[in-house]
Chains A and B, each alone.
Chain A
Amino acid sequence: MKKEILFITVIGKDRKGIVANISNCLYKMNINIEDITQKIVRNYFVMAMLVDIKDANCSIEKISEQLQKIGKEMELIIQVQHENIFKMMHRI
């Protein structure tokens, strides 16, 4: 089955447990993490996770909902976006 890639962008203050909490949540939804990168951009901690949801046991809506919940608890902004939007905006 073809991969279906989502990007999870996390923006906020760096703290312990961000990766752990998100990874655990993704594991429960049977989502594979393919890559992680992070950086401080203009005083924000920014982390991007590239995940494959082809085997996920729930919809994108549910994935987004679960991650938003973590975002709220940890005071982080979490964006979930299909890779196509990045392909369109950043590649000709």
Chain B
Amino acid sequence: MPFSIDEIYETARMILFEKLDIRTTTLGINIKDCVSSNFGTFQKNVYRKIVKMGKSLVENAKQMEIKYGIPIVNKRISITPITLVMEIHSKPDKFIKMAQTIDSAAKEAGIDFVGGFGALVQKGMTKTEKLLIDCLPDVLASTERVCSFLNAGTTSSGMNLDAINLTGKMLLETANKTSKGMGCCKFVVFVNAPEDNPFMAGAFHGPGEPDFSLNIGISGPGVVRSVVEKNRDCDLTELSEIIKKTVFKITRAGQLIGKELAKRMKVPFGIVDISLASTIAPGDSVAKIIEAFGIEKIGAPGSTLAIALLVDAVKKGGAMASSNVGGLSGTFIPISEDAGMADAVRKKALNLEKLEALTAVCSVGLDMIAIPGNTPAETISAIIADELAIGIINNKTTAVRIIPVPGKKAGETVNFGGLFGKMPVMAVSKFSSKSFMKRGGRLPSPVTSLRN
């Protein structure tokens, strides 16, 4: 036997009992070659390309699941940022029609989300990009599977506060047009957004990417939690070592699936994103890992250190396992999508301010947080700007996915259903940032960006 039975059982156990899976296989597609001066032809080209490649992704991913006995939970597509291909069709009705075309293509192909209906506006906005932001409430309300993003800053170009000010208003409008504000679950605002991120809602196929690129997002909070629980008394150095070894194994499994899937589809393999991605399933929670470290509830003092240790160990294990590590590769700490995080909010162990501190040491920011529906637009923009400033100054990706829930007050529960989970609405400071945010403009790039 080339492997010991303990090794074989370890792999089986991770999949069967600890929810190890491939969280997402995301195919990046360049749609720049679909553009036509005839809008109907343009729509048809985009539709055909997404359906053809989407069907191939779903079919081949299914074969991989059978061959390796490991579930591939989501099959997704990311496209070229839409504003880059819409400049000559820059009309509100055309944005909506294109979003609906992409939505129907995703349905036809069996793809649950298509990312990329967004824009790169880190330094400023074109008329088309401004128009897109105006159209987003209707886009997000009239489609099911289309996800949108904005990259509102980079460390090298600074942060576009004008775009962030528009985002706050746009989110309120989107929330009011969709049930429980759920349209906002399909929108992420970033700084330093990676061009090869496979995770939704913020995936897009960056302008620096080839025609196609197959990217993989692994999972594994359940596996890491289990190994931490078995090692209750070791010190931090040893704990880091144990996590590294475990993440090495799950990253290698992800890379195997990604490379073989790309080969079958005859497209280039892109990256493995090693982020730990929670789900609402019991135990599949980053909060529960932190609790297994010995912290009573995530949010208690010590939590930032614990997350820092976890993320660093995950990166070290992942980097050893694959030369294609990319995307976000941090650790997600969404609230509604992680039952342990939501419970910490419910028990008042975790508030918005402590969550912001946690995101300073891990990807990917304030994710899936519900706030009161009557929060002023400029306060939403200021929450976003604070989070993004952490990314700009620390040369890392940060992002915000925030949902102002119409009619709900702090402490009330909102159930988004399905994968999005449920959570208590989080309290937001009552003090205003209006006059500050009104200044607008661009935060200059920090001195740390001057590296040449």
Contacts and interface: CB of A to CB of B under 8 A. Distances in A.
Interface in A62-86: 64, 77, 79-86
Contacts of A9: 8-9, 11-12
A88 B12 contact: no
B69 interface: yes
- Lowest 7 A-B CB distances belong to which pairs? A81-B69, A88-B252, A89-B249, A9-B12, A48-B8, A88-B256, A90-B7
Contacts of B15: 79
Interface residues of B, number: 26
Contacts of A60: 66-67
Interface of B is mostly: helix
Interface in B1-29: 1-3, 5-12, 15-16
22 contacts: A9-B11, A11-B9, A37-B1, A41-B6, A46-B12, A48-B3, A48-B5, A48-B9, A61-B63, A77-B12, A79-B12, A81-B67, A85-B69, A85-B256, A86-B7, A88-B252, A89-B11, A89-B249, A89-B253, A90-B3, A90-B7, A90-B10
Nearest to A48: B8
Q: How large is the interface on A (under 10, 10 to 19, 20 to 34, 35 or more residues)?
A: 20 to 34
Contacts of B5: 37-39, 41, 46, 48
A81 B20 CA distance: 14
B377 interface: no
B68 interface: yes
A50 interface: yes
B255 interface: yes
A46 B12 CA distance: 10
Interface of A is mostly: strand
A92 to B, nearest CB: 9
A82 B67 contact: yes
B313 interface: no
Contacts of A38: 5
Contacts of B67: 60, 81-82
Contact of A81 (B9, B63, B68, B250): B68
Contacts of B402: none
Interface of B: 1-3, 5-12, 15-16, 63, 66-70, 249-250, 252-253, 255-256, 260
Given A39-B9, A48-B1, A85-B256, 15 more contacts: A7-B3, A9-B9, A11-B12, A50-B2, A64-B66, A79-B69, A81-B70, A84-B260, A85-B11, A86-B2, A86-B8, A88-B252, A88-B255, A90-B7, A90-B10
Interface string A43-64: 0101010100000000011001
A32 to B, nearest CB: 15
A89 B283 CA distance: 22
Contacts of A89: 7, 11, 249-250, 252-253
A51 B11 CA distance: 17
A19 to B, nearest CB: 15
A81 B249 CA distance: 16
A79 B17 CA distance: 12
Given A11-B16, A48-B8, A77-B16, A86 B1 contact: no
Contacts of A39: 5-6, 9
A84 to B, nearest CB: 6
A80 to B, nearest CB: 6
Contacts of B12: 9, 11, 46, 77, 79, 81
Given A79-B16, A82-B67, A41 B9 contact: yes
Given A79-B69, A81-B68, A89-B11, A50 B253 contact: no
B252 to A, nearest CB: 4
Contacts of B250: 89
Nearest to B254: A88
Nearest to B7: A90
Nearest to A80: B69
Interface in A5-28: 7, 9, 11
B145 to A, nearest CB: 28
Contacts of A84: 68, 256, 260
Contact of B11 (A37, A44, A77, A86): A86
Max chain A CB contacts within 10 Å: which of B8, B12, B68?
B8
Nearest to B250: A89
A50 B7 CA distance: 13
Contacts of B3: 7, 48, 86, 90
A43 to B, nearest CB: 12
